[in-house]
Structure 1
Amino acid sequence: MDKTTHSYIPTLVDQMQTGAIGRRDFLRKATLLGLSAAAAYGLSGLPAPATAAEPAALPKGGNLRIGMRCMEIKDP
């Protein structure tokens, strides 16, 4: 750790590795102390969160239906 990180961060890492605190508590406390979520994940030794899967391709063509309510005109 360098001098720009909070002095309590190494204690949090130790608590995380020994199981004294859970992943959520570690991430919460580390981000409150100024670490980004990515840096906190890196320090914790946990694998990076999974990324979203690519959406399936939609078939081309078809009809687009739009429903709209038309109000009566009472005064021209």
Structure 2
Amino acid sequence: YEVRPKVPRRIVEDIAATIKTEFHGLSGIVYCLSRRECERVAEGLQRHAGISAGFYHAQLDAEKREEIQRDWMNDDIK
């Protein structure tokens, strides 16, 4: 794993660039400090970078958590 400092205005762009250049075609986990940031990063990766991404946190109901975990394990989201 790798820990990188974030540049607030470039979070999604930096994560997307790393995924596309160093981890293309692989699955992974991006940890965020808050639920809101987790959702925002996943949405940004999908919308602006075309990366299949989902978010997973304690406020999701059990059904949604299971769906996201299943999708990740099946490589439907990366």
When the two structures are superposed, what TM-score results if normalisation uses the length of structure 2?
0.35
When the two structures are superposed, what TM-score results if normalisation uses the length of structure 1?
0.35
Higher relative contact order (CA 8 A, sep 6+): 2
Q: Which structure is larger by alpha-carbon Rg, 1 or 2?
A: 1
User: Which protein is richer in helix relative to its size?
Assistant: 2
